[in-house]
Structure 1
Amino acid sequence: MTMARRSLKLSTVALFLAILLVTMLLSRIEEGRKATAAAAEERGVPVLMYHHLLKRAEAGRYADNEIVTFVDAFEKQLDWLSAEGFETVSPAMLRDWLENGTPLPSRPVMITFDDGYLSNFVYAYPLLKAHGYTAVIFSVTGGISEQPASFHANQINMLDRKTMESAGDVFYYASHTDDLHHLTGKRSALVTADSETAAADIKKSLAVIRQFPSGVDYLFSYPYGNYSDRVEALLKEQGITLAFRAYKGKLTRKSDPLALPRYPVSHSVSMDTFKGYFSEYFK
């Protein structure tokens, strides 16, 4: 065999081995991707539900209110999530995972706030930003002020438009109705309102949400967690594909997209209980 032929043969063998190694590597990567996706499906995505933040010393008459989470506790929760490697997922990431199985971070979490309190900006915004986290605020859009709002701990202050615009690097905004966040008897006004009134309210709220660059018009949170088949149908008509209730549970790809669960967090939720929401990631 001539030197040229021998060299060609060796080159062919080397090429074959290189192709084989690349094929094996790609196969391993695909197996790893499938394993990660399967694990994510089994573990689900913990979604946290907050409302109002206050410092302990200023809580006053709201100290025992279940919508309140103390700022120091919130900071400890974020510190723990960060230390354990949890990453926040955006509404788009959650939707892509639910609808298409698009992979999420290995330890995902979604942080949400209901109602749209000014305290979300005063206290949550800087802490979230320092941790590199994002969150969703489900806003009662009828309460958004056109004038700059001032924070007073002894009052309920809602977010104003200018503040919301300035916080779009951390917060996504979605609908919590426009003017149907109150109770009629023991049920939310959204559920008890006639279809025409409810549809008009949802449409009006979404129109406001779309005015914000970080607004998300396919996401919704039911006031008081109340919903019905009729309300679900109204949401679908408006293009809403994901909606959250207010009950505990593991969110998986098998969850009803218009009745998604969240874990409530307030001053009465201990750190051990909070950590328990993520127990699937420590088995």
Structure 2
Amino acid sequence: MNRKFFLVIPGMIFFWCLMFANLQYTHAATEFVEVQKDQTPVYDSRKGDLETVGYLTKGQRFKVKKDYGVNWWQIDFGGYDAYIVKGNVFPIASANYINGNKKYTNSSTKITMKVDAPVYDNTTGKLVQFAVIKEGQNYPVISISGNWYLVDIDGRLGYIHNAQANLVKPESTDPVPNTPAATTKIYIKANKDTPLYDNRRGYLDEIGKLVKGQQLEIVKQEGANWWQVKWANSYAYLSKASVEQVKTINYKNSSSAYKSTNKNIVPLYDNIPVYDNTSGSLVQFATLKENHRYPYIMKSGNWFMLDIGGRYGYVHSSSVKLDKGISILMYHHILDEKDLGVYKGVSTTITSEQFSKEMEYLHKQSFETVSMDDLEKYVKGKINLPAKATVITFDDGLVSVRENAYPILRQYGMKATEYVITSRNNHPTELFNPKKLQFFSNEDIKNMGDVFVYQAHTHNLHNLDIHNKSDVITKSLAVVEADIRLNKSILHANSFAYPFGHYNDNTIMLLKKLGFKSAVTTIRGPVNVGDDVLQLKRYGIYQSTSLSEFIEIVES
């Protein structure tokens, strides 16, 4: 026969064997996997990112909890769901170990690993390592026997020597902040599509709906008419009149094992469906409202996982966008185009015409202009803010703002923050002269209180030395402290703007000492939950900023 024929046959056999193998593992349910790569990482995704929490030893077998998409197997690791890469393991029909855990449960005792701690199987009469728990990780203990801690790794019993780990208090290691359970748990079922409300800003803000027939676990009763339920990192409320109590729950997607991150998604339209997939199909149990920010647990493929009323659910990525944060806008000097004169081309001076178009856009798009107080609470996770929210700030307290910005802001019912240099306000109110830099009088400050909240920008240290460095970082700490203290007391301020954007560790230390809740920089960027409240970024709006660039900034 032809030599080429013999070359083709082995390739064809290999091809068909591969096809058969792929078909077999595509259609057959995988119960176990064997580790092919030593030190195969085990990942925890509860914080929204993949964190390595341990390793599996090559040649060892483990039980699969769930097929989690194209690339992942889900296993049990310390009582929570963890993940391993499919490429590092091979599907196996059965287990070859005898240390399976059939009767033991974790106690409330936990240990913290002092090193990457090996976990041993001793059922063969010798210690055989089958896993490792990463240094710094907390892990529940079943029991303590002499110098050994007994633990469960994906349904296998293993031992960790006490030289490798320290005992810790149970309450200090729980990754999920659980609300203390009531003596008797209460569950409710929605008799109709029932609104869920957030009340952290002092009013009832509808953030979603529980679908008719769906159930939730109650955290507590709130007054005579309301039930409180878990909602991501906070709580939501629903009316008792729209639900009825039930004795048991009919869902399996409790979110108690997960924690929401500080990262948010924003619905692209109203009534975004949220699905429960634990039945093997997608069952809608809630909806989300547009113009709201929702913390998510993690992203898996094209789906975002959220905590809705103590149940985890999924929203499709095509119906939402990632929240990039809130923009603080920074303005200084506002002049009519015809009055620019020597300020033409000066970045910190913009025209009244430009400012008017920017505010008109915010108004037409229903943006809420929020205070620095509310922004600080948002950054600390105390309240939520609308998706369409921005902060308008002005530095220095210039009369041009009184003449050309204040009327526009008032026309649209907007609020703004003015950072004031208080040593420059002790004079009679002046007629506006566009050729001069003029500063608010105390009367101006009083008259514009319906729009502006006044905050601190130093009393008399808004100056640069010959090296273009601010007095705030060149003067003695005693001088700077006395100046900012006076500035704060005159305005009753709790927010500060660093002059020229200059500051250092000593400046931050002083602001903390003086009780400031927030401070803004000139560093460009958005503000997100968890940011340093004394180093908040801003977007400078300049003469060169086009309307399209402005829209991109506020819509980020």
Give TM class, smaller chain. Answer: 0.7 to 0.9
Distance across 2 between alignment mates of 1:250 and 1:200: 31
CA contact (8 A) 2:390 2:554 kept: no
Deviation at 1:22?
5.6
Structure 1 residues 148 and 100 mapped into 2: Cα distance closer, same or farther (>3 Å)?
A: same
Q: Given the alignment, which residue of 514, 523, 531 partners 1:247?
A: 523
Deviation at 1:23, TM superposition (A): 8.6
- The structure where strand makes up a greater share of residues is 2
Select between 195-204 and 77-86 the one with higher mean Cα deviation. Answer: 77-86
TM-score of the two chains, using structure 2 as the length reference: 0.44
| 1:124 correspondence with 2:400 | no
**Higher RCO, Cα 8 Å, sep 6+:** 1
Q: Deviations over 1:111-162 (max 9, x none)?
A: 0000110111111111001111111000111111331122100011100000
Equivalent residue number for residue 178 of structure 1: 459
Structure 2 counterpart of 1:91, which letter? Answer: M
Shift of residue 43, structure 1, vs aligned partner: 2.8
Distance 1:244 1:201 in 2: 18
Structure whose CA Rg is larger: 2
Q: For the residues of structure 2 that align with 1:261 and 1:170, how far apart are their CA atoms?
A: 22
SS at match of 1:114: strand
Greater helix share, structure number? 1
Classify the secondary structure of the residue corresponding to 1:64: coil
| Alignment-derived partner of residue 91 in structure 1 | 372
State the shift of 1:260 in Å.
0.5
2 CA distance for matches of 1:233 and 1:50?
Answer: 26
- Where do 1:81-230 residues align within 5 Å? 81-184=362-465, 185-210=467-492, 217-230=493-506
SS of 1:236's equivalent in the other structure is helix
| Separation in 1, partners of 2:421, 2:333 | 14
SS at match of 1:232: helix
Query: Which residue number in structure 2 is paired with residue 5 of structure 1?
Result: none
Name structure 2 gaps, 5 residues minimum. Answer: 1-187, 197-207, 211-235, 237-285, 296-319
Cα deviation for residue 279 of structure 1 reads 3.9
Instruction: Say whether the 8 Å CA contact 2:418–2:453 is kept in structure 1.
Output: yes
Instruction: Please give the alpha-carbon distance, in whole angstroms, between the structure 1 residues aligned to 2:190 and 2:508.
Output: 52
Q: State the match for 1:76 in structure 2.
A: 357
More deviation, 250-259/189-198: 250-259
Output the amino acid matched with 1:251: V
Q: 2:318 aligned with 1:36, yes or no?
A: no
Compared with structure 1, are the counterparts of its residues 25 and 235 closer, same or farther at alpha carbon in structure 2 (3 Å cutoff)? closer
Alignment partners' CA distance in 1, 2:433 and 2:487 = 26
**Shift in Å, 1:266:** 1.7
Shift of 1:101: 3.5
Partners in 2 of 1:190 and 1:260 — Cα distance? 18
Residue in structure 2 matched with residue 274 of structure 1 by the alignment: 550
Identify if the C-alpha distance between structure 1 residues 203 and 131 changes in structure 2 by more than 3 Å, giving closer, same or farther: same
Instruction: Tell me how many residue pairs correspond in the alignment.
Output: 257
The answer on whether the counterparts of 1:41 and 1:252 sit within 8 Å (CA) in structure 2 is no
Unaligned runs of 5+ in 1: 1-17, 211-216
SS of residue paired to 2:380: helix
Amino acid in the other structure paired with 1:267? Q
The two structures, once aligned, show a CA RMSD in angstroms of 2.2
